[in-house]
Amino acid sequence: MILQSLLQLAQRESLREDPDFEPKRVAWLVHVGEGGNLLGIMGTHYIPAEEAKKEKPRVVAKSFLLPREKPVTRGDRAFLLYNKAEYVFGIDPQQKRPSETLQKRFALFRAKVRICLQETQDEGVLAVYSFLMDLAAGRQSVSLPKDCATNELFAFVYAADIEHLVTDRPKVREYWKKNRENLEANAGTQKTCLVSGAKFQGEVGNFPPIKKVPGGSTSGVALVSFNPPTVSSAFSSYGWKGNDNAPISRDAAESCATALNRLLDPVYSDPRQAGQTLAQRSLRLSADTAVCYWASKESGETFTSALSGLLEARPELVKELYRSIWRGTMPDIQDESPFYVLTLSGTQGRAIVRDWFEATVRKVARNLAKHFEDLMIVCHAPKPKHHDLQPQFPMRVLLESLAPRGNIEKIPSPVIRQILKAALRGAPYPFSILQRALERTKAEIGSNGWTAHHRRDARAALIKAVLNRRKRFHPETTPYMEVQRDMDPTSSSEGYALGCLMAVLERVQQEAIGNVNASVVDRYFRGASAAPKAVFVRLLKNARYHVTKARHDETKAGFIFRLDKLIDELASRFDPKHNGFPAQLNLEQQGLFVLGYHQMRKWLWMPREERSKWESDHPDAPREYVWAKGK
């Protein structure tokens, strides 16, 4: 199903209008005139429109349609009229290759051009060949551009053509097409392609390499491959060898590889509009994992184009129709066409499929809306001026909140994949996220600064999402209420009430003695959230001292009175005189403890207008929580 979907994408986006040629980025154009005179070497680098919007735009080389060559997996082999500097000029930009290797590669490149010239008698090819022979004989010389990289490609332009490559000349194209046809003529028996179902003639070659797979080699990795045959190889038991075990026609294999290369390249050239790039269809999740996504029909393209902007919380990439998803509201999307998500990792030899997900455009949009609804929570960090939409948690920030000092590389790739999988599938978030969030909350509870508060908000949002989905999918094993966006004074959860109590005790201490080096939260949060019985009796005794001290300040007496009533209301749920606090809290209750603390802390600092709105939204709140003027 994966390969069939990729084949359909290649056909729909016209990625292989000419199957004998493929788009490749050519960094340098070598201009030659009549007689092979070198006229200059020009760069093609530019900043795509999509990159220009970023703080650090990436410069890329322009794409050209070049003869489709088999990948070089071992040994030396030249390409037709384009290649790296080692082949085109016999020069290594880094000056690390032995001269014998460079001479051999330069000779291979000249030989391939000579054969093309003999078959075509094309004047552009003649000019290139004359230049190469002059260069080999020392009659001309070449100086590589200073910023030339080892893996960058060079191609030739004949002066009379001005803008077109020598490989675009009609005789050269006809020669290459016939050359490709001859490779399959009368080769092997007839087979049925597993992808297209069509009959094809010829040997089953290697699957074309996929570029830009995180963790894979720069030369590309194969999506379909087999290990070398051994005596005990299962796939050799019927006389099959290598890729004969998966007969895929050359046309289908190249179409699938082209489609996947298009998905992984953030600035892939549009074959139907010169100078334009196709919309981004992938996200890099970690150093070794990327996720690709696409719709099966044109009708789903608008939503698909907004997906990366939705996950990265970038308003400039999301049309107004889909912004309601950030607010947890499903937009008016009725598209039932298939939507695909493919997660890949790379090794040195092959691409690894980590996950494959198929749904409809409408279902994925609905799941995303639910994902953001579950993340909604009151925040302590002020919103940046350029970002006034909720939620304010792009995928990157969610992941940073789970890592020490926000270093995403410290998070295992499976955890990252599971978060995205839950968001797109509407499935429960893995329990390991709750464990990581609790660990980081306790480790960074005393951190200050906007970044620390932002990560703390994101962790609270993740904890809320994990717990609410566990409650939704497993109600019989989760004896707690779903957590709301704001503080809920009617919650019956022990962990939530204790977290609220912790926030009130912190505020009382602050009102009594101001800011201290180690507050009650800095010293007792970890113990109170795991084993409250051993901690809270002592904290309540200290609170009485703080209340008495703060009441001496007449300007604070009314506020302290309200805080004292809150302490009594929350503590009364546990019979504090007989130490009725629970001895321990399980991980779910510890998560609720964090949320209670987070939301109550925000509630205690509410401005008057916001508090009045909260009270109107919570008419059943106990008297101790009604602070609005005149009540």
Answer whether residue 277 is part of any domain: no
Question: In a 10 Å sphere around its CB, with 0-12 CB exposed, 13-18 middle and 19+ buried, how is residue 50 labelled?
Answer: middle
Regarding whether 414 and 337 lie in a shared domain, the answer is: yes
Name the phi and psi angles at 154, rounded to 5: -115, 140
Q: Is 192 helix (H, G, I), strand (E, B) or coil?
A: strand
Answer whether residue 435 is part of any domain: yes
Regarding whether 193 and 132 lie in a shared domain, the answer is: yes
Residue-wise pLDDT for 520-538, tens only, equals 998 999 999 999 999 999 9
Q: What is the largest CA-CA distance in the chain?
A: 103
Low-confidence stretches of the chain (pLDDT beneath 70): 53, 183-188, 203-204, 226-244, 383-392, 628-631
Regarding whether 449 and 509 lie in a shared domain, the answer is: no
Answer whether residue 485 is part of any domain: no
Regarding whether 300 and 219 lie in a shared domain, the answer is: no
Answer whether residue 287 is part of any domain: no
Question: Domain limits at 605?
Answer: 493-625
Answer whether residue 480 is part of any domain: no
CB 204 within 8 A of CB 246: yes
Answer whether residue 486 is part of any domain: no
Q: What is the pLDDT of residue 554?
A: 80
Structure tokens at 380: 């302590």
Q: How many CB atoms lie within 10 A of CB 143?
A: 9
- The domain tally of the chain equals 3
Answer whether residue 359 is part of any domain: yes
CA 93 to chain centroid, in Å, comes to: 33
Regarding whether 139 and 64 lie in a shared domain, the answer is: yes
Regarding whether 364 and 227 lie in a shared domain, the answer is: no
Answer whether residue 288 is part of any domain: no
b/e per residue 280-310 (b: at least 16 CB within 10 A):
bbbbebbebbbbbbbbbeeebbbbbbbbbbb
Q: What is the pLDDT of residue 29?
A: 96
Helix axes 536-550, 557-571, angle to 10 degrees: 160
447, 475, 503 - which closes a domain: 475
CB 458 within 8 A of CB 392: no
264, 287, 304 - which closes a domain: 264
Regarding whether 430 and 300 lie in a shared domain, the answer is: yes
Regarding whether 301 and 193 lie in a shared domain, the answer is: no
Regarding whether 168 and 27 lie in a shared domain, the answer is: yes
Regarding whether 517 and 470 lie in a shared domain, the answer is: no
Q: What is the pLDDT of residue 385?
A: 56
**In what helix (H) or strand (E) does residue 26 lie, and over which residues does it extend?**
strand 21-26
Q: Is 530 helix (H, G, I), strand (E, B) or coil?
A: helix
407, 442, 475 - which closes a domain: 475
Regarding whether 243 and 162 lie in a shared domain, the answer is: yes
Regarding whether 541 and 433 lie in a shared domain, the answer is: no
